[in-house]
Structure 1
Amino acid sequence: MPRSINAKDKIEEMQNIDDIVSDFDCIKVSALKKVSRISERLKDGILIGSNSTAIKNESKKSENIENEQNICNIKPSQKPGQMQNNKISMQSGITFSIKKIFLESEYQRKEEVWKEIERHCQHMKESGEAIKEHMEISRSHMAKERERKSKENYAYILAEEKIVEQEEIRKRLERQMELEEYRKRMKEKEELTKKIMTFRNAFKTMYCDIITLSENCRDESSVTNVLSSYTVKLQDLHNQMECINEKVKAGDVTSADLNVTEKMVDLIGEILSAFKSEIERINSQYEANLANMESAKQCHVQSEVLQTQTIDNTENNCEAIAPVLTSISDIQNNEDKHEDHVYEYVDKEFLQMYLNSQQCLENYAKSYQELLQSASMKKFRFECQKAINIPINAISSFDERHLRDKYDRLHNLLMGKSSPNINQHPEGPAFCKDVLAKKIVNQGETLVSSKPKMAFPIAAIIVALWNDHSDFGDLILSHFHTSCPFTIPVFLPKIADQSNENYYKSLGYKYNDDGTIETYEKFVKRMSGLMRLYASITITSQRKGINKTNPHGLQNAWRWLAAVLNIEPQIDVTDLCATLLLDMLEVAGAALWTAYPNQFHKLLILLSEEYCPHMQSVGCIGGGPLVRLNEFLKNSLTKGFIPPPDGQLPPNFW
């Protein structure tokens, strides 16, 4: 834009023009002066040449004057005698003012310049407004274009999102439909499997009933002949059931398999009914024949022989009970000599429990002898043991999910709902339950003896499985009683003429391959681990959602303590007895004091004031366990409570 011209600038320009005009006037005056001098010299007649000194002097003088005037920038004064400097006379007699002419021409030029400047400014102003207006229009168009593109992009994004959302909804619906279809198929398959399992269990029961009837038949030769007529059919049915078991295991059962299983159950039911009638007939005939046999004396002799054979079989199949059976046999043969000595340290009821546990394990082992002896089932046995050992070795109280996972795996194994399917062999469930019970009890000897806190998660698994399988609980107790008779409690004394090896084995000692016995410290440590695991079972609470009571609850801990107080201490096991008492009190003491506050307090006083001094008087091997027991009792009675055991699972942990 051109800058605006104000009045002050105009005045300054006018002054500059006046200065220029005055300079021109000076030049004109100088010229006129020179003309006048020339005129005067013309009068003297010396115009040119070397004689024209005056001209030279005048010229120099004039130059000096002009130089001085130029240097000093002083306007020369006009002499009155000169001709009017600013006027020029023409031949016509007209006189012009040169200054005025210059001024007027300058004024005209200035006016034209001002007009041109104003015109140019006006033009630039108009051009600026036009440019500004054009820019405003451009900005408006650009803003509208941006808004239009933004709306188009937003609409495009919304459309894309809507398409993606619709695609996601479609995929979700497809997945949901597939899931619903899959669930429907699985539910149908599960219901089909349940029905097949029901028929399979019925088949298994009938199959076992046939075996039981054959074993209980009194005439072996007759039952063999009868059974041989059904052997082919039974074997064929058994093979068909194995095929059904494989399909159940693979999850590939159909309604046709259900129909086949149902027909198989009907067939074996008919076989069982006919076989049962034959067995009843054979037994009736056998009893009739017995009525005509020898006299009662011969029957008595035969009974003695059978009893002797039973005792011999028990000794051959269960080495751990051999010393006890020998002792009982000696007592029966000479009651006056041994009875008082044995029952001074062993309660008759508890001794019978010990013998029953041994017999239970022996009978249970016989129930799966065929599976053990079958070479073709070696892989099956290995897979079952592996399926048991892995979760048992991983049991811990890390968190609820971890513990529940180990229970689910073992429970599903015993139910035949996992791999391997234990029901693929009729003796599979018995084999797995016995192996599982033995493995869990063995954890008390190995793991709990070194890490007492581990007793509680293992006990939680035991109680949970015991709720579902009562026969598993019987096996657990039998293995406890066999491995550690002191959990009954039974403290067997040494009988006269009994070898040291038999005696120590009856107590639970282990012998190495080279025939050497384990150290006393190692033996006590194993027994302590077993006792802690046993005591943990008695105080373990049920899982969340289970309304049953503990199948082997706190009353058994109370019974054990009361039984120990009724047993006469022995010098050989005094330290062991003190150790086991301390283990029981440390684990179950807090729960017992809460459940039986008055009676348990009295029991502690009895232990502290009477039983412990009595054990001290009998004597002990090291004395350390008894000292620790005494200190524990004194502290508990002084404080009035026993703290909960370290590592116990909180209620509703899982």
Structure 2
Amino acid sequence: MNVVLKVNDMDITSDFESVKVSALEKASRISAMMNCITVGPQLVPRDDSDKLENIENEQNSCNIKSPQKTNISPKHNMISTSNGIHFSMKKILVESEKQRKEEVLKKIECRINHMKENGRVIQEQMANSRSLMARERERRNEENLADILAEIERIAEQEEIKRRHEQQLQAQRAQEQKEKLEREVEEYRKRMKEKEELTKIVMVYRGQFTAKYCDIVTLSKNCKDKYAFDVILMANTARIKELIQHIEALDEKIKSGELISTDVNVIESLVHHIDDILNTFRTEIEKIDAQYDAELARKAQVASEIQSVVESENIPADNVMPSQQPGENNAAENNESKDQSSNVITNQETAAAPVNAPSVSVPKPNETAADSECKERNLSEYVDKESLQIYIKSRHFLNLYKKTCKDFLQSTATKKFRFECQKAINIPVNAISGVSEQHLRDKYDRLHNLLIGKSSPNVTQHPQGVIFCKDHLAKKIVSQGETLVSSKPEMAFPVAMIVVALWNEHVDFGELFLARLHETCPFTIPIFLPQQEGQSNEDYYKSLGCKYEDGTVEKQDKFLKRMSGLMRLYASITVTGQRKGVAKAHPYGLQYAWRWLAAVLNIEPRADICDLCATLILDMLEVAGNVLWSAYPTQFHKLLTLLSEQYYPRMRNVAGGGGPLMRLEEFLNNALANGIIRPADGMLPPNFL
């Protein structure tokens, strides 16, 4: 159809061109006849009186056979011949135009007919084209249908192949699953057999451990001197408790079926440790029994000599005091010791009111009762009796530890092991911080796992390994109080939270920590020892916790800063709550902060320690004051009033003033005026760890 339209356009264009050429030819023929301007602004006007002649003259002029030379008059647009006949130019143009129109009409009619013919041809061509297109469409549809059928058949074949392949894979997977299940069953049987063998081995060692423990119990029952045996038992109680805890953990593993090969080494090590303890008990008890028998023989000999003297001098037996049996004296001493221990515990637990707690003075070895009483009278003015008892007990505990671990600390064979243990403790302790709960829990887990032998190095591989690590950890934390807490007081709380968490799991660690803290800062007991007669200045300052460098005692401000850091650490422990999930009682709770304040108020101020005493009281109140006021609102307010109105004036009268006393006075005045002590900076929220 497009082809036909293009043909018609070309025909019409050619017709117009012919018309244009015809018009131009006629215009060229008459242009020679025109001698004036007929259109435009320069048109020459014509006279109306000059009329054209009628058509008859024109027709007559046209019949002249031999035309003569014509003259065109420009004035009247007339054409004249030599015969004098005039023709009208207008009539000639009208006639010419008429002829032109007729010719144009004829050509238009011819063109219309031609276009009709072309339209008919185009219709025929279009019909033929549609027919061809329909046949082509049918042919293509048939080809497409054939292709579709072929594709469907190909897809069906592929689906069949895929189905067969999936069946093969499924069968293969089923076979592999069956083989895997068989392997798992076999491995399970093998594991169960290995666990059964492990359980048998562990149970054998478990029986050996139980037998050795029963031997220790038997030795304790058969020991002739119970008091001496209690001393040995106290030195090894922590180790025995720890071994029993490990055994209980293994028992839980046996019940749950979670034993592993390393547990055999663990229980073997535990058996070796209990065996070492048993041998130590046997050796010591043999010595005790020998000494007891010797003492019994000596007393029997003395009794026989007295009897012989009585008989020789005929003195009535009733007048002579009967000799005390050896067992009675020891039993009395033992009961007295137990009574003293129970009094100390009772006083600590009931220290919720500011009263003087009764205490029992313990005389030192080789010291007569008279000497002890004299010293007590000299110290009673400056030292609280119960605090003195705690001080003596703490020193005795440290001496027992040092005696127990002396060989271990001096042995070159354990030097590398000790270095690895110290490194495993120093790294997490130095990184203790309250930045996040996860960070603090990680440090606790690392230290706890080290103390129970679940990390490297395995501290249970040596009998004194565990107690050495606990003592080093205690010294390291005390050192943190001297350095870190003294510079950044808010850091006392994350360190205290680690101490409380470990204290719950390892009671002997808590005792070692207190002993090391009291050794470094006896004012945390509190005890403010005066200088004794004959005591050198260096010994006296060292007893107060001062350090010497090149024979010179440290400066007062540095000493106060160290003691302040240790006191803040001590106070933070008393107000730090238990970690998540721990339901047992706090190992060293708020009552000890109250006991410390009550004990300080019962000690007479001294001029040489007033600045120190004021600094430590302020530290205790800033750290624990808010919690104490919440726990004991009425009693604590009375204590602050007593401190402000009575004790502080006595301190000022003795010392005369100074920066620490001024700061304490300002704190007390603000607290009593506002009726509140704000929480300490850096205090961690409950259940932070």
Paired position in structure 2 for 1:226: none
Paired position in structure 1 for 2:423: 386
The answer as to whether partners of 2:216 and 2:281 remain within 8 angstroms in 1 is no
Q: Which amino acid aligns with 1:637?
A: L
Paired position in structure 1 for 2:538: 501
Paired position in structure 2 for 1:550: 586
Aligned: 1:411 with 2:448: yes
Paired position in structure 2 for 1:480: 517
Paired position in structure 1 for 2:121: 119
Deviates more, 1:130-139 or 1:284-293: 130-139
The answer as to whether partners of 1:195 and 1:258 remain within 8 angstroms in 2 is no
Q: Which amino acid aligns with 2:470?
A: K
Paired position in structure 2 for 1:449: 486
User: What are the Cα deviations for residues 267-316 of structure 1, in whole angstroms up to 9, with x where unaligned?
Assistant: 9999999999988986786566445556799999xx9xxxxxxxxxxxxx
Distance in 1 (alpha carbons) for counterparts of 2:581 and 2:650: 47
Quick one: which of 529, 547, 572 aligns to 2:608?
A: 572
Distance in 2 (alpha carbons) for counterparts of 1:190 and 1:601: 65
Matching of residues 573-612 of structure 1 within 5 Å: 573-612=609-648
Paired position in structure 1 for 2:553: 517
Distance in 1 (alpha carbons) for counterparts of 2:436 and 2:526: 34
The answer as to whether partners of 1:218 and 1:286 remain within 8 angstroms in 2 is no
User: What are the Cα deviations for residues 81-140 of structure 1, in whole angstroms up to 9, with x where unaligned?
Assistant: xxxxx9xxxxxxxxxxxx999999996775345312432255257648976998999999
The answer as to whether partners of 1:342 and 1:492 remain within 8 angstroms in 2 is yes
The answer as to whether partners of 2:212 and 2:278 remain within 8 angstroms in 1 is no
Distance in 1 (alpha carbons) for counterparts of 2:535 and 2:461: 46
Paired position in structure 2 for 1:625: 660
- Taking only aligned residues, the RMSD between alpha carbons, in angstroms, comes to 6.1
The answer as to whether partners of 1:193 and 1:253 remain within 8 angstroms in 2 is no
Shift of 1:517: 0.8
Q: Which amino acid aligns with 1:582?
A: L
Shift of 1:487: 0.7
Deviates more, 1:395-404 or 1:202-211: 202-211
Q: Secondary structure at the match of 2:382?
A: coil
Distance in 2 (alpha carbons) for counterparts of 1:187 and 1:532: 56
Distance in 2 (alpha carbons) for counterparts of 1:263 and 1:358: 31
Q: Secondary structure at the match of 1:376?
A: coil
Paired position in structure 2 for 1:458: 495
Q: Secondary structure at the match of 1:552?
A: coil
5+ residue gaps in structure 2? Answer: 30-60, 73-78, 226-258, 307-322, 330-361
Q: Which amino acid aligns with 2:587?
A: P
Q: Which amino acid aligns with 1:591?
A: V
The answer as to whether partners of 1:454 and 1:647 remain within 8 angstroms in 2 is yes
Distance 1:506 1:256, change over 3 A: closer
The answer as to whether partners of 1:456 and 1:540 remain within 8 angstroms in 2 is yes
Distance in 1 (alpha carbons) for counterparts of 2:22 and 2:659: 136
Paired position in structure 2 for 1:645: 680
Distance 1:130 1:287, change over 3 A: farther
The answer as to whether partners of 1:367 and 1:430 remain within 8 angstroms in 2 is no
Q: Which amino acid aligns with 2:686?
A: P
Aligned: 1:540 with 2:548: no
Shift of 1:471: 1.0
Distance in 2 (alpha carbons) for counterparts of 1:644 and 1:209: 53
Q: Which amino acid aligns with 1:558?
A: W
Shift of 1:343: 1.5
Give the TM-score normalised by the residue count of structure 1: 0.64
Aligned: 1:490 with 2:527: yes
Shift of 1:485: 0.8
Aligned: 1:561 with 2:614: no
Distance in 2 (alpha carbons) for counterparts of 1:330 and 1:116: 153
Distance 1:200 1:645, change over 3 A: farther
Paired position in structure 2 for 1:358: 395
Quick one: which of 237, 253, 261 aligns to 1:253?
A: 261
Shift of 1:538: 0.5
Q: Secondary structure at the match of 1:416?
A: coil
Q: Which amino acid aligns with 2:646?
A: E
User: What are the Cα deviations for residues 480-520 of structure 1, in whole angstroms up to 9, with x where unaligned?
Assistant: 111111111101111222211111111111101x1111001
Distance in 1 (alpha carbons) for counterparts of 2:273 and 2:467: 22
Matching of residues 364-379 of structure 1 within 5 Å: 364-379=401-416
The answer as to whether partners of 2:205 and 2:268 remain within 8 angstroms in 1 is no
The answer as to whether partners of 2:490 and 2:682 remain within 8 angstroms in 1 is yes
Q: Secondary structure at the match of 1:417?
A: coil
Distance 1:579 1:284, change over 3 A: closer
The answer as to whether partners of 2:567 and 2:616 remain within 8 angstroms in 1 is yes
Distance 1:367 1:629, change over 3 A: same
Shift of 1:550: 1.0
Q: Secondary structure at the match of 1:449?
A: helix
Q: Which amino acid aligns with 1:536?
A: S
Distance 1:37 1:508, change over 3 A: closer
Distance 1:374 1:519, change over 3 A: same
The answer as to whether partners of 1:491 and 1:507 remain within 8 angstroms in 2 is yes
Number of equivalenced pairs: 528
Aligned: 1:438 with 2:440: no
The answer as to whether partners of 1:203 and 1:268 remain within 8 angstroms in 2 is no
Paired position in structure 1 for 2:353: none
Distance 1:265 1:367, change over 3 A: closer
Q: Secondary structure at the match of 1:375?
A: coil
